[in-house]
Structure formats: structure tokens, C-alpha cells
């Protein structure tokens, strides 16, 4: 047996990868589990984008290797999109780098800026990949608290009390996942000020700003942001194109060039028909976003009812693709709460603990299930608790 690299001992298999195997086994036993866990958009991508994908895939000369920096049309489309919706001017030649999904960007940014032993500020609760990738590249993770009583925003006074020597990078994610906390200019201004003060690269992961959110914001809108910030974005949620794997990192050309050095050694470009489809999707007008959000609003009403039935509490001002709720005191923790409804109602709800210790009294439900499925989940939960 060949001994694996030490880094494989630093991380575990992704929680949802493990959980999906368990759910698959339960389904094989005839349980018919309703999975309300993963944010995997179930509505179709824009029809015109799909048509462009098919047309381009059938054309000659589109199946070869592509540029590491994406076709010019895609970079220009991302630039126009940022200008129109975020009020941010980005040079498509050197301030935009298309990615094969923004999750790829978390690894590329980490490899481009972090040496072994460097420190990284990671939110608790937060997307588990921030921690995992930091550990894989040999960085030291410093958790910073996000708490309900502080509106799920960083406590900057608490951050200033941390020994920030050696901190190179800070991961932030607004609109926030898993908590649904929306972005705001005051928070973004504090983050940029903090980055300047301590010479820390602030990386905002921003895939949720078009979901149930009236005014998308970008960290790059703040004056001086490009000096200390990068922003990741994605078409997975905003355009229902998760499987297309199309993301972007935006920021100062010097930072983008560092990321490109890593990226160009790890892939051979993105399939051109996918890029052409993305160009089309990025040109969608406001009616596209209104259409998908109309459906998400109806689904959210049902998710609220599901949480009501379990005795959980939630904030109706959340944004994004999920609803985050505080579990009732009768449950020991989020894992017990989740397992209760998985075992008794055949409904999977995500335990907040997987996002950090500050999520141990919370659970999350995805809006990526149709209304009929959500209604059935609600009835199952009501029936399970009635019989207990």
C-alpha cells in the first residue's frame, strides 16, 4: 500500500458526499428520502443559452483546447454584467478571469497567495471548502465568529484582539451562506478598511447576490477595494447553470495574474460552447431574475412552514438559496434534529454544525425543490411529529 500525502489526513471527505451515499442506501431500502439539503438548482438555464450551447457544439472547430483566460466575448460579458448590476468597472483584458466554477477559484487563490504556515481567517459558520483548501495548502486556519446577535457579521473589535501577525487572507461570503445575511455597504467598507489596515487580502465569495435580493452588491464597489480584495462569482445559482461549471474571479490585474499562473498549470481551458452559452446567459435582462425569484419566493413560503412545523425560528429577511433557522431547545443539537427527521419522516435537513460550531443550534433547507416536493416534506414532518 502506497502511503498517501500528509495533506489527505488534514481533511475529510466532503460532508454532502458522505451524506448522499447514506441517502442512496436508504433509498435502496425503499425509504424514498426527500433531500432538502443541497443547493443544486432544479430550474432550467436560460433557453437562449441552451440553444447557443447546442448550436456551438454542432459547429466545426469548437471542440479544441481553449485559452486559459477564456474567450474575449466571455470576459467582455462578465465585464458588462458587473457594470450593469454591480456598478463596478472591470477591464475585461486583465481584471477578469473565467473559472471552471468558482469553487475552483478558492483553490487557485489559496495556492497563489498562501505559503505553508501563513494564516487564514475563515468564518464560523461558513462554507467548509474555505477551511479544507486552506489546510490542503498548509496554511493555519484562524476561525472568526459569525453570530446571530451580531447579524451574522464579523465582530471587528473581536478581530482586532486576535494576533493578526502572519494573516495573509480572509474569506468572506456575502450574501452569506449558510445564514442568508445580506450584504451591505457598511459591512463591505469595514472589510476593505480592515484589509488595508492589516495588509490582508479580502476574498468575497459572491454567488448568491441575485437570489431573493433586490439589489446585488459587490465588494469591489467600495473605494480602494481592488488594492486588497478579490471577488469570486458564479453562474451556478444566478442562471441555474451549476453543472456548466462557469465562474469568475475579478480584481486588480496583478492579483489576477498570480491566480492565472496557478490556473494555467491545472487545466486546459473551458469548452468553448459552454463559454458561448455563458455569454448569452449574462445578457439576460431583469425579467430572467424576476422569473426565478418569483418561484423561489413561493418555495420559501413552504420552507417557512416546514420550519414552523418543527418548532424552529428564522429571520424572514434572509437572502440567497437557503433558509437558515434556529432549532428548538428540545433538540440536543443540529445533528440530532437532522437525524430525527431523516429517520422519522424520510426528510433530510442540513445540520448547521457542518458549517462550524456556531451553527450547532441551526439547520438549513434548500429552495432547490419544487413546490410539490416541499408540500410532501411538510406533510411527512407533521405526521412524524404527530405520532411521536
CA–CA distance, 73 with 361 (Å, rounded to integer): 46
* In-domain check, residue 53: no
CA–CA distance, 41 with 91 (Å, rounded to integer): 30
Residues 207 and 331 occupy one common structural domain: no
Residues 95 and 40 occupy one common structural domain: no
Domain count, the chain: 2
* Count of C-beta atoms within a 10 Å radius of residue 283: 15
Last residue of one domain, picked from the residues 241, 267, 283: 283
Residues 78 and 37 occupy one common structural domain: no
* In-domain check, residue 306: yes
Contact between residue 167 and residue 157 where contact means Cβ atoms under 8 Å apart: no
Residues 200 and 299 occupy one common structural domain: no
Residues 147 and 270 occupy one common structural domain: yes
Residues 291 and 275 occupy one common structural domain: no
Residues 276 and 296 occupy one common structural domain: no
* In-domain check, residue 57: no
* In-domain check, residue 172: yes
Q: What is the CATH number of the domain that holds 348?
A: 3.90.1150.10
Residues 143 and 279 occupy one common structural domain: yes
* In-domain check, residue 1: no
Q: What is the CATH number of the domain that holds 110?
A: 3.40.640.10
* In-domain check, residue 247: yes
**Adjacent-strand bridge partners of 22:** none
| Residue numbers of the domain that contains 355 | 6-44+287-386
Report pTM.
0.94
* In-domain check, residue 117: yes
Residues 70 and 210 occupy one common structural domain: yes
Last residue of one domain, picked from the residues 263, 283, 303: 283
End-to-end CA distance of the chain: 49
* In-domain check, residue 31: yes
Residues 222 and 367 occupy one common structural domain: no
Which residues have a Cβ under 8 Å from the Cβ of 132 and sit 6 or more positions away? 11, 14
Last residue of one domain, picked from the residues 283, 317, 352: 283
CA–CA distance, 189 with 96 (Å, rounded to integer): 22
pLDDT tens-place values along the chain, 388 residues long: 898 888 887 776 667 677 778 888 888 888 898 999 888 999 999 999 999 999 999 999 899 999 999 999 999 999 999 999 999 999 999 999 999 989 999 999 999 999 999 999 999 999 999 999 999 999 999 999 999 999 999 999 999 999 999 999 999 999 999 999 999 999 999 999 999 999 999 999 999 999 999 899 999 999 999 999 999 999 999 999 999 999 999 999 999 999 999 999 999 899 999 999 999 999 999 999 999 999 999 999 999 999 999 999 999 999 999 999 999 999 899 999 999 999 899 999 999 999 999 999 999 999 999 999 999 999 999 998 886 6
Amino acid at each position: 500500500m502506497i502511503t498517501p500525502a500528509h495533506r489527505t489526513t488534514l481533511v475529510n471527505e466532503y460532508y454532502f458526499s458522505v451524506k448522499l451515499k447514506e441517502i442512496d442506501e436508504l433509498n435502496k431500502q425503499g425509504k424514498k428520502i426527500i433531500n432538502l439539503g443541497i443547493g443544486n438548482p432544479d430550474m432550467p438555464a436560460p433557453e437562449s443559452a441552451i440553444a447557443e450551447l447546442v448550436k456551438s457544439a454542432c459547429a466545426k472547430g469548437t471542440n479544441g483546447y481553449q485559452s486559459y483566460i477564456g474567450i474575449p466575448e466571455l470576459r467582455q460579458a462578465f465585464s458588462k454584467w458587473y457594470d450593469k448590476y454591480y456598478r463596478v468597472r472591470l477591464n475585461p483584458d486583465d481584471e477578469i478571469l473565467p473559472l471552471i466554477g468558482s469553487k475552483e477559484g478558492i483553490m487557485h487563490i489559496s495556492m497563489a497567495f498562501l505559503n505553508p504556515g501563513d494564516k487564514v481567517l475563515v468564518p464560523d459558520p461558513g462554507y467548509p471548502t474555505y477551511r479544507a483548501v486552506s489546510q490542503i495548502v498548509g496554511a493555519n486556519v484562524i476561525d472568526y465568529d459569525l453570530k446571530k446577535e451580531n447579524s451574522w457579521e464579523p465582530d471587528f473589535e473581536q478581530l482586532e484582539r486576535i494576533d493578526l501577525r502572519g494573516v495573509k487572507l480572509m474569506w468572506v461570503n456575502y450574501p452569506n451562506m449558510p445564514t442568508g445575511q445580506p450584504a451591505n455597504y457598511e459591512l463591505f467598507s469595514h472589510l476593505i478598511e480592515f484589509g488595508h489596515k492589516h495588509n490582508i487580502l479580502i476574498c468575497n465569495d459572491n454567488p448568491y447576490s441575485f437570489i431573493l435580493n433586490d439589489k446585488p452588491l459587490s465588494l469591489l464597489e467600495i473605494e480602494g477595494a481592488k488594492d486588497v480584495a478579490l471577488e469570486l462569482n458564479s453562474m451556478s445559482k444566478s442562471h441555474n447553470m451549476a453543472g456548466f461549471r462557469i465562474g469568475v474571479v475579478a480584481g486588480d490585474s496583478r492579483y489576477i495574474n498570480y491566480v492565472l499562473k496557478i490556473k494555467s498549470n491545472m487545466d486546459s481551458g473551458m469548452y468553448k460552447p459552454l463559454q458561448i452559452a455563458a455569454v448569452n446567459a449574462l445578457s439576460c435582462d431583469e425579467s430572467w431574475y424576476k422569473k426565478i425569484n418569483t418561484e423561489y419566493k413561493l418555495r420559501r413560503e413552504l420552507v417557512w412552514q416546514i420550519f414552523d412545523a418543527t418548532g424552529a425560528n428564522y429571520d424572514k429577511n434572509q437572502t440567497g438559496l437557503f433558509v437558515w433557522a434556529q432549532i428548538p431547545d428540545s433538540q440536543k443539537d443540529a445533528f440530532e434534529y437532522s437525524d430525527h427527521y431523516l429517520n422519522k419522516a424520510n426528510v433530510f435537513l442540513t445540520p448547521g454544525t457542518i458549517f462550524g460550531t456556531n451553527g450547532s443550534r441551526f439547520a438549513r433547507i434548500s429552495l432547490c425543490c419544487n413546490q410539490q416536493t416541499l408540500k410532501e416534506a411538510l406533510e411527512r414532518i407533521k405526521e412524524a411529529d404527530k405520532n411521536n
